[in-house]
Structure 1
Amino acid sequence: MHRKKDDFLIVVGKRGLLLLLAGIVMGIVMILFTVLSNFSRFSYSPKIEVTAQASIFKHQTKPKELKVSPNSPKTVQVIKVNEDNSFVVKGQNTKPKVLKLLMIEFPPDGYYGARDAHQTFKRMVLGKTMYVYSDKKGPKNYVYLQKGDDLVQLKLLRGGYTTMADYNGSEKYYGNFQTEQDKAQRKLKGVWAVPGYVTDTGYHKKAGDISGNEK
């Protein structure tokens, strides 16, 4: 009888010890799991930050070259007009590009009408959003410049600020340009007001010398 009681106490004691050991082991495992989780989180934090930065930079595309074609007008803003009447444009996400007006010639610098033509052209385009496109027969970087439904070239010819030049008659707007120039010539507008100033080969500087001396 005493032996059975002793055996029972031994069994209970062993089971209690096992449960205690199991509890200690589970506690150690939970502590290790918590430590490893925190270490893992702090360990990978910099990598997550780098990945986020890489994702941001991936979407910041570099500006491209502006490609001007005859069939697809490009929307640009004129950001500068140079003294030689070339102009700088910039499209959406494009690099600035220097262009010139196709098929027209401004009066030579320092002669009759030159300053007026330059200032008029500058007022027309500087800071404005416009369309640029080329002609199949046109030289590189010479373009049509359009605001709304009208070409800047046509406005300048219409007012006698410029004349036609470097054309072969096959250009897309040759007929329109010729019509506006003829009207300005008949009305003696701008450069056409000075006899002999505009010739078949360009501007005659002696006729347009505003100082009275040939340069």
Structure 2
Amino acid sequence: MLGACSQQTENHTNQTALPKGLVSGTVVKNVDGDTVHVSINGKEEDIRLLLIDTPETHKPGTPVQPYGPEASNYAEKELAVGTKVMVEEGVKGHERDKYGRLLAYIYLPNGKMYNEEVVKKGLARVAYIYEPNTKHLSDLKEDENYAKSHKLGIWSIPGYVTDRGYDISKSSKSSSNTVSKHTSTGVQYSSNNTSKNTSSDGKENNTSCKGKIKGNANSKIYHVPGGEYYNLNMKHIVWFCSESDAQKAGYRKSQR
């Protein structure tokens, strides 16, 4: 169990002294935006980040939710495998959830708390608030208010964020321009997650290469067969026969 002493900040964007009693660890696996595996003292811990909830990307029976891929990509960037981090556990006796996962806050090499950063960027909501693990709740709520007031990420879709999670039906009511403006993956989301293209998916171009490299004309991102987002519904599809063709056309490869 780790100590609970911390110092508050006047401005969360500035690096401050870390709380006492943290333990060092190394990231060994990314699961999604709010779950990560960290090796601590030679033991791999499945860590569920405290007080945050990112949209789903891997939950069985649940379609990929808007900004879930962005949250996962952000985690892969900031908590890349091999990254040295500092871990602050939950309160003793309440440091694990019913699945046995370690509940914790994670601090990045720059001293910033990852839990706060992902909320501040509009890629997570503050959630799963259970005493006594509420130590950093006020800071996280402040970060959430910032993201909400600036309509960042999940807050850019009216009605999408609810007290119970995310209402994917709201995202289908947003214009494609709004969605494509804010996504970094090039994925257009649908509440019906299938691999088939319908007439509502928009016009497809260069269909002679269909089934090979799948590009999104709005985001200029392409997806390869076997990629995590290749079979998701998209609008404004442009097909390429090779990755080099896509790159020559100004497209970049999806991170997943």
Verify same fold: TM over 0.5: yes
TM-score for both structures, normalised by structure 2: 0.53
2:94 equivalent to 1:125: no
Distance 1:84 1:176, change over 3 A: closer
Shift in Å, 1:211: 3.9
Structure 1 or 2: more helix by fraction: 1
Structure 2 stretches lacking a partner, 5+ long:
5-20, 58-63, 97-101, 173-187, 194-256
Shift in Å, 1:95: 1.9
Shift in Å, 1:69: 2.8
Superposed structure 1 runs of 4+ greater than 2 Å apart = 68-72, 83-86, 208-215
Structure 1 stretches lacking a partner, 5+ long:
1-67
2:50 equivalent to 1:102: yes
Q: Secondary structure at the match of 1:150?
A: coil
Distance 1:85 1:179, change over 3 A: closer
* Aligned residue runs from structure 1 range 197-208, under 5 A: 197-208=160-171
Task: Describe the superposition over 1:106-156 as per-residue Cα deviations: whole angstroms up to 9, x where unpaired.
Answer: 112212111011001111012210111112285501110012321001110
Matched with 1:40 is none
Alpha carbons 1:70, 1:135 under 8 Å: kept: no
Shift in Å, 1:205: 2.0
TM-score for both structures, normalised by structure 1: 0.62
Distance 1:159 1:211, change over 3 A: closer
Number of paired residues? 147
Task: Describe the superposition over 1:22-65 as per-residue Cα deviations: whole angstroms up to 9, x where unpaired.
Answer: xxxxxxxxxxxxxxxxxxxxxxxxxxxxxxxxxxxxxxxxxxxx
Distance 1:166 1:83, change over 3 A: closer
Matched with 1:143 is 104
Q: Secondary structure at the match of 1:166?
A: coil
Give distance in 1, aligned partners of 2:91 and 2:171.
Answer: 34
* Aligned residue runs from structure 1 range 72-87, under 5 A: 72-83=21-32, 85-87=34-36
Larger Rg: 1
* Aligned residue runs from structure 1 range 16-95, under 5 A: 68-71=1-4, 72-83=21-32, 85-92=34-41, 94-95=42-43
Alpha carbons 1:206, 1:214 under 8 Å: kept: no
